[in-house]
Each structure stands twice: as C-alpha cells, then as structure tokens.
Amino acid sequence: MQVIFLKDLRGQGKKGDIKEVSDGYAINFLIKKGYAVKKTEVSLNKLNKEKEENKKTDEKNTIEAKEIAKKLEKVTLIFEAKAGKEDKMFGSISSKQIKEELEKKGFIFDKKQIEMEPINCFGFHNVQINLYKDIKGTIRVEVKKR
C-alpha cells in the first residue's frame, strides 16, 4: 500500500513523502496514529496544494528576510563598558543585551537567532543574526571605554 506521510517519522519518512509499506503496518500503525494517509487522488491533490502554499510562503519569507538583512547592514550598536587594569574590559556584551538594543531600534528577534560569542574586548565586532533558513544579517557592535 502506498501512503503519504503527514508527519516526520524517524527511519520511515518525512512529511510529504510517498512510500510503499505493508498493508498491516499502514493500517494498524501509520494511519491509526495519524502519521500517514492512504495515497488516493484526493490526498495527492491535497498534498500538491499544500506544497504550492508552502512554496509561496517560503518565497515571501525569503524576500522579507533579505530586506531585513539590508536594513541590518546599516545598524551599528554602541555599548560602553568599564575598563580595568591594562585596559581590559570588565564583563562582556551578551546576545540578550544586543537583542534589547535592537528592539529599541525597531528590530524584534529572539536571542537564539543572534550568533555570537560574548564580546569581551573593546573595539568593533560583527555579529550575525539568523533571519530565515540560510539568510543571515550582519550588524556592527562597537564597545567603548566608559
């Protein structure tokens, strides 16, 4: 029996895959648990419509992410930190602090989207932000002495 997977199932298939499986496995496990449906004209048409909608949504999100990336290139965040002996910085600048400063400038991101190690030295630093799939934006962070 051929089935269309509705959910990812490790070792069996991913959402949208069409696979040939034994009748008993399909009926008693995959279909019963909601992991798959029997492949028919109706279910195949539904799958194709879903794929088209996902493609359109993906294209829209990609365009939006590229626009945001262009805007982020112009952003420079300035932080001030105390300096200790030999001009070493006390503490560090974290992704949470960068997230808060970006929110003040109108950009809303989750701190998990910000790719960085804590900044613990003065000067300019580039910080990358994951926007969508393979699209990343880069901002400049300047850390000055107080």
Q: Please write the tens of the pLDDT for every residue from 35-62.
A: 999 999 999 999 999 999 999 999 999 9
Domains in the chain, CATH or no CATH each: 2-64 (3.40.5.10), 66-145 (3.10.430.100)
Q: Please write the tens of the pLDDT for every residue from 117-127.
A: 989 999 999 99
Residue with structure tokens 């952003």? 75
For strand 123-132 and strand 114-115, is the pairing parallel, antiparallel, or unpaired? antiparallel
- Tell me the pLDDT of the chain averaged across its residues: 93
Instruction: Give the H or E element holding residue 104.
Output: helix 95-104
| pLDDT band at residue 65 under the 50/70/90 scheme | very high
For strand 36-38 and strand 76-81, is the pairing parallel, antiparallel, or unpaired? unpaired
Determine what percent of the chain is predicted with pLDDT higher than 70: 100
Give residue 85's pLDDT: 81
Q: Please write the tens of the pLDDT for every residue from 80-110.
A: 999 888 888 888 999 999 999 999 999 999 9
Compute the distance between CA of residue 48 and CA of residue 32 in angstroms, rounded to an integer: 23
| Mean pLDDT on 76-80 | 94
Residue with structure tokens 């539904």? 46
Cβ–Cβ contacts within 10 Å for residue 9, how many? 17
**Residue 119 DSSP label:** B
